[in-house]
Amino acid sequence: MKLTSLVCWCLIVCIPIAAWPQSQGAQTAEAKETRLFVEQSAKFKSEVQKRGTGEQARVKVSLRDQTEVKGYISQIGAESFQVTDNKSGRATTIAYQEVRKLRKPGLSTGAKIAIAAGVGVGIAVGASLASLAASGE
């Protein structure tokens, strides 16, 4: 009888103790994810407010559901903003929590620099080949 009660006591005490760190880790991961989500939403909200509204405030918004919205910011609210498409005039309301990436339309500065460098290298190679062909070597 003592052995049975000892085994029962060990099971009652040890199983919850063994499971406790796992549940704490899950809560911590959830808290980190929620905090990151809130920080990103605040970042996007400040970016939208910095750009302002009007046809000069053009944006390309990538959403969490893998869709993209292009146009200009026509309205800014506390929880969402509106992007109006230039061609169709259709306004799309986007919550800050739905945004995955917010950027200007067109090529990035890095892409423009890479293209210019490629053109420069191409011109240099072409000039050196033309010089080599003209010298007869």
- Identify the bridge partners of residue 83 per DSSP, sorted by sequence position: 73, 92
pLDDT over 70 at 19, yes or no: no
Structural domain of 66 = 2-106
Q: What is the CATH number of the domain that holds 76?
A: 2.30.30.100
Dist. CA 55–CA 68, nearest whole Å: 18
**Reduced to 3 states, what is the DSSP secondary structure of residue 56?**
coil
**At 17, is the secondary structure helix, strand, or coil?**
helix
In a domain? residue 122? no
On whether residue 124 sits in a domain, the answer given is: no
What is the chain's percent helix, strand, coil content, to nearest 5? 60, 20, 20
Residue 80 lies inside a defined structural domain of this protein: yes
For residues 58-64, average pLDDT: 89
What pLDDT sits at residue 21? 55
* Domain annotation covers residue 42: yes
**Are the beta carbons of 86 and 71 closer than 8 angstroms?**
yes
Residue 133 lies in a domain: no
Which SS3 state, helix, strand or coil, does residue 30 take? helix
Count Cβ atoms below 10 Å from residue 38 Cβ, excluding itself.
Answer: 12
pTM (2 decimals)? 0.57
For residue 77, being part of any structural domain is answered with yes
pLDDT in tens, 74-130: 888 888 899 998 888 899 899 888 888 888 777 778 888 999 999 988 898 888 888
pLDDT recorded at residue 83 = 92
Q: How many domains does the chain have?
A: 1
Tens-place pLDDT, residues 20-54: 555 555 557 777 777 887 788 888 888 888 888 88
C-alpha distances in Å from residue 61, one per residue of 15, 18, 73, 96? 48, 45, 10, 11
pLDDT at residue 13, as a whole number: 63
